[in-house]
Amino acid sequence: MAGEERNVILRTEGLTKHYGGVHALEDADFELLEGEHVAIVGDNGAGKSTFVRQITGVERPTAGKILFEGREMEFHSPVDAREAGIEAVFQNLALADDLDVPSNIFLGREETYFNLGPFSFLNEKKMLQRSQEALEKTGVKIPNLHNSIANMSGGQRQCVAISRAASFASKLILMDEPTAALGVQETTQVENIIRGLKERGIPLILVSHNLRQVFNLVDKIWVFRRGRIAGMLEADKTDGNEVVSLITGVQSGVHENASYI
């Protein structure tokens, strides 16, 4: 490859998370370049979601450093991460069922007319308009934005969550198994949204179990195994067998007759 120097946007050094005795994430050194789309793969319980939660400020790491745009960050809450320009779509959809689409898109960062603390008046008009724009930008069509989320299909809900993240993300977006519960059509739509992000140059970390999807969408594949980073592979220089052998920890060399995929 050409020797173009791309900036590192996100780096973790020795990132570790223990839940009591459970070593969910152990000494993870991870790196993401500007404009890069990468996948995180690994078996159930490998620590993928745990990693996402440390980066997005949902939890505080037990040890290790998170460097974002070269600066060491300490996120005390998801708000801190968001203010830094990091958005996420979590595995368990972080949506409020009884609220409508604009309320969900703007949840926790409502537009208001003037600041009266918690009693600030909501600018529903602006939120509706901005939601429409956000959905348009991601190509999502939802007929009635004032329906509560509970009355929508799984695909629509997922699209709302992704549009929310995609429309606010300025520097980095993380998606934890965004298509796990979706049908073929919805999956295609989500993948299109991801391609749109690539065109916009917004870096992405995609957690997925779907290797076909991973190979279609990303530049690099980071493999997690039992809380540790087992390795990183460049998507165009590897194949499914190699990825699977890293996931399972079975010695490379067996991969010729692997039948996992």
Partner 1 sequence: MANQAQAVSGSAADMPQKRPRSHELNALLGLVGIALIFELLGWIFQGQSFLFNTQRLSIMILQVSVVGIIAIGVTQVIITGGIDLSSGSVVGATAMIAMSFAQVSTYPRAVYPELTDLPVIVPILVGLACGIVAGMINGLLIAFTKIPPFIATLGMMVTARGIAKWYTRGQPVSFPTDSFAALGQGMTPVFVFLAIALLFHIALKYTVYGKHTYAIGSNEQAARMSGINVERHLVLVYTIAGLLAGLAGMVIAARGLTAQAGMGIMYELDAIAMAVIGGVSLSGGRGSIVGTLIGAVIFGVIISGFTFLRLDAYYQEMIKGVIIVAAVVADMYRQRMRPQSR
The residue to which tokens 């997005």 are assigned: 56
101 part of the interface to partner 1, by CB under 8 A: no
- The answer for residues whose C-beta is within 8 angstroms of residue 20's C-beta and 6 or more apart is none
- Environment class of 24 (CB within 10 Å of its CB; exposed 0-12, middle 13-18, buried 19+): buried
Residue number, 119 or 236, with CB nearest to partner 1: 119
Q: What binding mask, one character per residue, do residues 33-62 give for ligand ATP by CB under 6 A, x or -?
A: ---------x-xxxxxxx------------
Residue 42 Cβ vs partner 1, minimum distance, rounded to whole Å = 22
Residue number, 103 or 213, with CB nearest to Mg ion: 213
Length of the chain: 261
The residue among 212, 217, 167, 215 whose CA lies nearest residue 191 is 217
| From 22, 63, 79, 254, residue interacting with ligand ATP (rule: CB under 6 A) | 22
| From 32, 86, 101, 140, residue interacting with partner 1 (rule: CB under 8 A) | 140
Do the Cβ atoms of 36 and 8 come closer than 8 Å?
Answer: no
93 part of the interface to partner 1, by CB under 8 A: yes
Tell me the backbone φ, ψ of residue 65, rounded to 5 degrees. -120, 145
Residue 227 Cβ vs ligand ATP, minimum distance, rounded to whole Å = 7
Q: What distance separates the 2 farthest-apart alpha carbons in the chain?
A: 65
Residue number, 112 or 210, with CB nearest to ligand ATP: 210
Span interacting with partner 1, options 78-86, 210-218, 226-234, 252-260, rule CB under 8 A: 78-86
